[in-house]
Amino acid sequence: MPELPEVENVARALRHHLLNRRCTGLKVRFGGILEPSPRAVRRAVVGRTLVDVERHGKYLVLTFDDPEPARVMLHLRMTGQVFVLDGYRPDKHVHATFQFDDQPVHYRDIRKFGRWTVVGPDWRERELAHVGPDMLTVRFPEWYEAVHRRKAPLKSVLLDQGVAAGLGNIYVDEALFRSGVHPLTRPADLHRDTLKTILREARAVLRLAVNHGGTTFLNFTDFHGQPGNFRSKLWVYGRTGEACRRCGEIVERLVVGGRSTHVCGTCQPLDRRRKPGNQRKRSASE
């Protein structure tokens, strides 16, 4: 599933290649990806110029110009791709092609879960009311207040998009490894400084992944159809049974909150850095 780094790369490509260009046509092959209808999306984009591309978490909002600005929100979900390729002949998974002057821009989605949705100027309040602040811009005090009392596994809390938007399965595993914290640890048991480290490392791994074009395991490609190359930089994700690149211990796979989770038990010992007040007291006989 495309996460924040992959979506940020799509946003940057759209700004670089399509900003201030006019959408001259839209060919629809499967209207189910366009909401509330293909007609509504066509009315919002065709004949208009793309003037802004914003990202919040895993969501993109494209703004088109006058007479009144029109906005379309894009959520790639699991297998959505936006790309241009010279000489490309769309296969059965290309569900819409936007024409920008003489440049066709294809939307391909094997699972058909992605959506292009016409939204209003208040899209942040209405469409993203269930989503927290962006992971790259949330302030630590705000994030700390949202997580430090939680007693669910840390992995599940970090995946909660209502806490902060954009952090997905790959980058949670990587951030926790870099922080030296086990994914089953409860936020309520961690020192404030440890939580600060986790937020810092999460942001660092997201920025590094953005700079490497994101991570491709199955379907994600960039604007020119090329896979992201961050996979070679991963410490634990997808490396079950392999030696940890830091200590040599074997990387394990767990299931946390229904999600595949990768951890090095040596570098990320469970119960490490717990609050002193939460440690089990020894009896006199121990």
Task: List the catalytic residue out of 55, 58, 71, 239.
Answer: 58
Return the structure tokens found at 17: 């290649």
DSSP character at residue 165: B
* Residue 58 known to be catalytic: yes
Q: What whole-number distance in Å separates Cα of residue 169 and Cα of residue 260?
A: 8
* Residue 133 known to be catalytic: no
Classify the C-alpha dihedral 246-261-205-230 as positive or negative: positive
170-209 as b/e: b if 16+ CB within 10 A? bbbbbbbbbbbbbbbbbbbbbeeebbebbbebbbebbeeb
Q: At what angle do helices 192-211 and 140-147 cross, to 10 degrees?
A: 120
Task: List the catalytic residue out of 3, 8, 174, 201.
Answer: 3
Task: List the catalytic residue out of 27, 246, 259, 272.
Answer: 259
Catalytic residues: 2-3, 58, 259
